[in-house]
Structures are given as structure tokens and as C-alpha cells.
């Protein structure tokens, strides 16, 4: 009868607090090892949280004190219209513009010029097409400070199912928990198929449309 050789624990495993037996490795000093692992995971989690960008402050736009208007020419005469209904979602941080974003949704049916016949015509499928697409959406892509309270804004505008890039400047002044943003952008209406069939040349309705915004907001929280 031949006896199996005695079990020998390798020196490396003895130094690491491990013993070999029954085909498995047994951990010695488990409480110390577990504490070390927990500390390591806690340190990693803290580092990840520290690296994550802080969320920009949220601002509530006072639509009663704010305005979105458009200006264009009709038969050579300037016409100004106002959108009476819109919503805005604003996140803005002066110290970290990468976390800032603005989304404005405009109710196209609220287009008002003070002339009922003109307003009815604007809602038609040839112009704003209110029945098939009741809203326009503006969303910023980036903001860059250029001087004091002045910023260059890269955005997208979606109108009549067409989305196009838009670059414009804005002035954003902040005093305590209040903010005031103003600016304008010039659009070519036919790029959004507005009047592209009946009024393509711009002699009756001008091709250029200037959109102006004046927004008053208060910091939330």
C-alpha cells in the first residue's frame, strides 16, 4: 500500500495568508482583506463622483414677462408678430457652459399680428402648417462666452418637420437668482418650406425672418 504524499502549502500562499486543501484555497485573515476591498471600492466611488460634472442650475422662465417675436416684410412693409404661447426649459451655469442647455417649444397657433386675416393665413398649410405640426422646437447645442454677458450660441430649429442648424448671439445677464436673456436670429423661411410653393421669390412675403427673444427667468431651488 502506497500512502499519498503529505499536503504542502507553497511559501507564496503561506505569505499571502492562503492555505491549500480539499482542492480549494482557503482565505485567512478574511476580515482584514474584506475591509481593504471595501475601502478600495469606496475610494473608487468617491473619485467617480468627484469627476462627474455638476448639474447646471435650473431656471423658470416667466412667460408673462417674456416674449418671442418675428419680423418680416409683406408687400414691402414690415410686419411684427408675437407668439403668445411657448414653454422653455433652461439649465445654465456661468462656470460650466458645457452643462448648460435651453429648449423652447413654441405654439404656432398662437402667432398674432393684430390682423385676423393675416393670422389665419399664417396658420395655413402653405405657411406655418399649424394643423399638421402645431409647434416649433428650438434647442441649443453649445454656448460659448465671447465678451462679458455676450455668448455665441449653436442651436437647432425644427419647423414643419425640418431641422436646421442655427448660429446666433445672445446677451445673458444674471443678478442673484434672476436672469435676463435677449437676442435674435435671422432665418430664411423657404429653408423650412414656409411659403415655398406660393411665395418662393420673396416679393410678396420677404424671405428673411428675424426672430427675437426676450426672456426673464428665476433660479429654481
Q: Is the pTM of this model over 0.85?
A: no
Residue 139 belongs to some domain of the structure? yes
Instruction: Domain of residue 96: give its range.
Output: 57-219
Whole-number pLDDT of residue 56: 87
**Over the stretch 207-220, which tens digit does the pLDDT of each residue have?**
999 999 999 999 99
Domain count, the chain: 2
The DSSP code sequence of 34-93 is HHHHHHHHHHHHHHHHHHSPPPPEEEEE-TTS-EEEEEEEETTEEEEEEE--EEEEEEE-
> Residue 164: CA atoms inside 13 Å, Cβ hemisphere, count?
14
Residue 3 lies in a domain: no
Q: Looking at residue 36, what is its pLDDT?
A: 55
Is the alpha carbon torsion for 57, 145, 107, 191 positive or negative?
negative
Q: Dig out the grid coordinates for 193 from the structure.
A: 418650406
Classify residue 168: in a domain, yes or no.
Answer: yes
Task: Bin 29: left if φ > 0, else alpha if -120 < ψ < 50, else beta.
Answer: left
Residues of the chain with pLDDT under 70: 1-54
Check whether residue 28 and residue 109 sit in a common domain. no
Among 215, 106, 206, which residue's Cα sits nearest to residue 153?
215
**Domain match, 160 and 83 both:** yes
Query: Are 45 and 64 part of one and the same domain?
Result: no
Q: Tell me: do 46 and 73 sit in the same domain.
A: no
pLDDT digits (tens, 9 = 90+) for 39-69: 555 555 444 444 445 678 999 999 999 999 9
- Phi, psi (5° rounding) for residue 206? -55, 150
pLDDT score at 31:
57
Amino acid at each position: 500500500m502506497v500512502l499519498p504524499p503529505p499536503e504542502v502549502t507553497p511559501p507564496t500562499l503561506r505569505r499571502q495568508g492562503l492555505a491549500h486543501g480539499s482542492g480549494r484555497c482557503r482565505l485567512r485573515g478574511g476580515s482584514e482583506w474584506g475591509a481593504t476591498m471595501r475601502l478600495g471600492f469606496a475610494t473608487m466611488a468617491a473619485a467617480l463622483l468627484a469627476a462627474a460634472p455638476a448639474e447646471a442650475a435650473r431656471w423658470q422662465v416667466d412667460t408673462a414677462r417674456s416674449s418671442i417675436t418675428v419680423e418680416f416684410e409683406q408687400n414691402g412693409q414690415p410686419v411684427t408678430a408675437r407668439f403668445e404661447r411657448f414653454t422653455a426649459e433652461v439649465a445654465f451655469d456661468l462656470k460650466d457652459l458645457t452643462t448648460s442647455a435651453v429648449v423652447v417649444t413654441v405654439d404656432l397657433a398662437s402667432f398674432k399680428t393684430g390682423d385676423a386675416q393675416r393670422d389665419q393665413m399664417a396658420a395655413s398649410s402653405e405657411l406655418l402648417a399649424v394643423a399638421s405640426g402645431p409647434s416649433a422646437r428650438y434647442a441649443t447645442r453649445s454656448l460659448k462666452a465671447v465678451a462679458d454677458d455676450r455668448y455665441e450660441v449653436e442651436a437647432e430649429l425644427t419647423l414643419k418637420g425640418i431641422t436646421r442648424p442655427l448660429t446666433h448671439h445672445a446677451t445673458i445677464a444674471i443678478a442673484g437668482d434672476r436672469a435676463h436673456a435677449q437676442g435674435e436670429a435671422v432665418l430664411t423661411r423657404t429653408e423650412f418650406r414656409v411659403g415655398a410653393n406660393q411665395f418662393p421669390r420673396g416679393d410678396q412675403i420677404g424671405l428673411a425672418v428675424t426672430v427675437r427673444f426676450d426672456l426673464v427667468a428665476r433660479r429654481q431651488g
